[in-house]
Amino acid sequence: MIDHFPSLQTERLRLRGLTPDDLEFVFQHFADPDIGRYLYDEELITTRQEARAIVDFYIEPGARLRNRWLIIDKSDNVPIGTCGYHNWQEKHFRAEIGYDLGKAFWRQGFMTEALVVVLEFGFEQMELNRIEALVHPGNHASVRLLQRLNFREEGHMRDYYVQGGRFYDSLIFSLLRKELLSTRDRAR
């Protein structure tokens, strides 16, 4: 059992929990249509109050079963995205992972680098056996990322989410603890 989510480091990145000081980044980031296009459970935010609700959701005292790390580029200390766990089912040793990255940072290996340490944390510190990811079928970059990290596609769920009054399908991927070693090798 874990009581808090510590900061994590990679060669190029620092990952730390969201704080109230991240409000402006969260607002700008999640108001961007390129970022929000494939985020099922969130409409594009249009106000700072909506951004504050996102930050508050992850920092509230009862938020022990979910986490969102702010991804910071160490070279200039600029936030570039977020990632983390939600829908953590401790009893069943599983959680869902989510992630997003600013468009200027796409295709540079940042999310692969971040997720390698986040996955290791999930299996080793959270004692997960299974990590799931739900992905919009049109989000080809996310599908490739998950495949590179050794996630396996398990199915195509029809009309799984509603956003803006419209139904959307979802793909479900998973990675098991026993597959982590090969994930480390594939991500390099």
Domain-located, residue 1 = no
> What is the bridge-based pairing of β-strands 8-9 and 13-17?
antiparallel
Q: Write phi, then psi, for 117 (nearest 5 degrees).
A: -75, -30
Instruction: Tell me the whole-structure pTM to 2 decimals.
Output: 0.89
Domain-located, residue 50 = yes
How remote is the C-alpha of 147 from its chain's centroid? Answer: 15
Range of the domain at 12: 8-187
The domain that holds 34 is classified in CATH as 3.40.630.30
Could you tell me which of 181, 115, 103 has the C-alpha nearest to residue 146?
115
Task: Please give the tally of structural domains in the chain.
Answer: 1
pLDDT of residue 175: 97
Domain-located, residue 2 = no
Per-residue pLDDT of the chain in tens (188 residues, 90 and over written 9): 455 789 999 999 999 999 999 999 999 998 888 887 777 655 678 889 999 988 988 888 666 678 899 999 999 999 999 999 988 999 999 999 999 999 999 999 999 999 999 999 999 999 999 999 999 999 999 999 999 999 999 999 999 988 778 899 999 999 999 987 655 555 55
